[in-house]
Structure 1
Amino acid sequence: MNHLIVFAHPHAESFNHAILNTAVEALQSNGHEVSVRDLNKLGFNPVLTTEDITALREGNIPADIKTEQEFLAKADVVTFIYPIWWTGLPAILKGYVDRVFSYGFAYQYNAEGGIDKLLSGKKGLIVNTYGTPGEIYESIGMNDSLKQTSGDGIFEFSGIEVVDHLLFGGVTSPDANEARANMLDQVKRKFAAL
């Protein structure tokens, strides 16, 4: 299978990078083709401009958007790996969604007034980390909200079937080494099973 990982964390020594490396190793060990789009390393421009909107409406897809759409089109499975910052996506990933999951590529309205999900047939997985202890986010309903906004609001909206959404809380705790090792083991098992 062709697996696309869209990654959004600026620090090479981050726990998110450890998650990325674990996922890639697990997928490659099972013979999957893996493409990683590290948005920070690519210097991806997250700003959807008036010029972008005009070009997209005219069918003149800007080159950087076209490149990312080609990776998405080729993928059987799409994974987003990113930290939760201010209860949402990092700006660079939000901008990726704004620019790449564009009208006419990821979705469109049909003659009946419904929505055609143009990325149907693909599977999706989301992996998030956050510093708040996991039991707090769980108790206040934040985990469900994150699943709804990213899983339903981005993936399902465009037709990507969410197979799982891994949420890892408390990752910045100074005594979280054992917990982080268990999280990486969970990532390894999840991606090895895909």
Structure 2
Amino acid sequence: MNALLVFAHPHEDSFNRAILNTASDALRANGHDVTVRDLYKLNFNPVLTGEDTSAMRAGRTPEDIRTEQEYVAKADVIAFIYPIWWTGLPAILKGYVDRSFSYGFAYQYNSEGGIDKLLAGKRGVIVNTYGTPEEVYESIGMTGSLKQTSGGGIFEFCGVEVAEHLLFGGVTSVSDDVRKEMLARVDRAFRAL
């Protein structure tokens, strides 16, 4: 199985990096091929421009977008690992989606007015961290909203079946033992793929 891990956190010593390493190790332990696209290390340009969309319409996908689309096309499993900032994706990951999951590659409208989900057959995993305690996000409906916008609005919209969506709250204030259990959940989820 080919796994693509798209990672969006700027700090080497972050808990998100520990999640990335745990996920990667779990997949490799089961003999899977793993590709990590660390968007900050790549200095990925998140800005979708008019030139980008015009080039794609003309069949001349810009090289940096085409490179990411090749990784996505090859993947059986796509994982997004990122912190929740301002109740959403970091800008660099949002831009990755805007540019790489483009019309004609990830989805298109058909003659019946429906949507062709061009990434069907792939599975997706989303792992999020946030500083607010989990019970607060749960009580205000944010947990469901995050699952709907990222899982439904991105992956499922393009045909990617969401296999798992892990949300870890309070990561800045919980104990090391709690964070170790979070990593154990990540390990179990990725080993189960």
Shared fold per TM-score greater than 0.5: yes
Find the counterpart in structure 1 of residue 17 from structure 2. 17
Find the counterpart in structure 2 of residue 30 from structure 1. 30
Count of aligned pairs between the two proteins:
193
Cα distance in structure 1, aligned partners of 2:156 and 2:175: 33
Cα distance in structure 2, aligned partners of 1:63 and 1:56: 11
TM-superposed CA distance for 1:158, in Å, is: 0.3
Find the counterpart in structure 1 of residue 178 from structure 2. 179
**Residue-by-residue CA offset, 1:74-124 (whole Å, 9 max, x unaligned):** 000000000000000000000000000000000000000100000000000
TM-superposed CA distance for 1:176, in Å, is: 2.4
Find the counterpart in structure 1 of residue 109 from structure 2. 109
Note if contact 1:124-1:162 (Cα within 8 Å) is conserved in structure 2.
yes
TM-superposed CA distance for 1:193, in Å, is: 1.2
Note if contact 1:170-1:176 (Cα within 8 Å) is conserved in structure 2.
no
TM-superposed CA distance for 1:192, in Å, is: 1.0
Find the counterpart in structure 1 of residue 167 from structure 2. 167
Unaligned segments of structure 2, at least 5 residues: none
Cα distance in structure 2, aligned partners of 1:184 and 1:171: 11
* Code of the aligned partner of 2:153: G
Cα distance in structure 2, aligned partners of 1:190 and 1:8: 19
Note if contact 1:22-1:187 (Cα within 8 Å) is conserved in structure 2.
yes
Cα distance in structure 2, aligned partners of 1:181 and 1:148: 27
Cα distance in structure 2, aligned partners of 1:178 and 1:138: 22
Task: Report % sequence identity.
Answer: 73
Match of 2:36, SS state, is strand
Note if contact 1:110-1:116 (Cα within 8 Å) is conserved in structure 2.
yes
Cα distance in structure 1, aligned partners of 2:96 and 2:175: 31
**TM-score for both structures, normalised by structure 1:** 0.98
TM-superposed CA distance for 1:71, in Å, is: 0.1
Unaligned segments of structure 1, at least 5 residues: none
**Residue-by-residue CA offset, 1:140-183 (whole Å, 9 max, x unaligned):** 1100000000000000000000011000000011x421111110
Cα distance in structure 2, aligned partners of 1:193 and 1:94: 27
Match of 1:21, SS state, is helix
Cα distance in structure 2, aligned partners of 1:139 and 1:176: 22
